[in-house]
Amino acid sequence: MKTIVAPSILSADFSKLEAEIKKIEKAGADWVHIDVMDGNFVPNLTFGAPVVKKIRKSTKMFFDCHLMVEHPESYLQDFKDAGADLICIHVEATKHLHRAVQAIHDLGLQAGVALNPATPVESLAEILPYVDLILVMSVNPGFGGQSFIESSVEKIVKIKKMLKIAKSKAVIEVDGGINDKNVVAVKKAGAKIIVAGSYVYGAKDTAQAVQSLR
Ligand code: DX5
Ligand code: ZN
């Protein structure tokens, strides 16, 4: 599987989201990474399903919705209706992770689970056979432009091993502080989906930035 580059629109100019999405599409990005924050699970607010529904009209690109919200199960139908292709929820955000993953699949969408930096990989053990994607947070979720936490590389290596043992086809996504330098180590460790917000949207040449993450 080739590397998938998923720019995060958290670093886009929210006053012209359509143009900002077209910009990454033209630059060769594969997925749009959509950071939904509720001000509870993380100390920041972004937007919800109504905004996703509006931007759905701007592109056919794959919508990778990263829900940094408490009780994600309450919003799954809304994101499905808004046009999500994949919904990723945090293992720390629900008491009923298996039920929520099942509910995402019942909606006909791909399901991902995300781990905060301090959450051990062992918390994935029972859910691994049921998910399409594991998201390793390489910063504390809530804000763009933070520094990459180096120990995330070893975490990806551990998850890669777990997936192999479980004969799982789930893919590993990494999110937070990624640039053209540290991307080399995370890809070597086993990450196939590369999220980057400030690196892509802050670049002078967007196409070159996207290409440098492949
Ligand atoms: C952080 C978000 C990330 C963030 C990445 O809470 O989940 O997707 O936008 O931004 P950078 O690449 O700037 O760290
Ligand atoms: Zn994210």
The Å distance, Cα 63 to ligand 1 centre, comes to 15
Token pair for residue 7?
A: 């720019």
Confirm if 76 and 84 have CB atoms less than 8 A apart: no
- Which residues are known catalytic residues? 35, 175
Q: Which amino acid is at 135?
A: L
pTM: 0.98
Ligand 1 pocket mutation pick from 31, 35, 36, 186 by most atoms within 8 angstroms of CB: 35
39 pLDDT tier (thresholds 50, 70, 90): very high
3-state secondary structure of 199: helix
Ligand 1 in contact with 196 (CB < 6 A)? Answer: yes
Report, as an integer, the average pLDDT of 3-28.
Answer: 98
Share of the chain above pLDDT 90, in %: 100
Could you identify the residue written with the tokens 């053990």? 125
The CA 123 to ligand 1 mean position distance, Å, reads 22
* Average confidence (pLDDT) over 42-50: 98
Tens of pLDDT, residue by residue over 183-200, are 999 999 999 999 999 999
Query: What pLDDT was estimated at residue 178?
Result: 99
pLDDT reported for residue 182: 98
The residue type of 185 is A
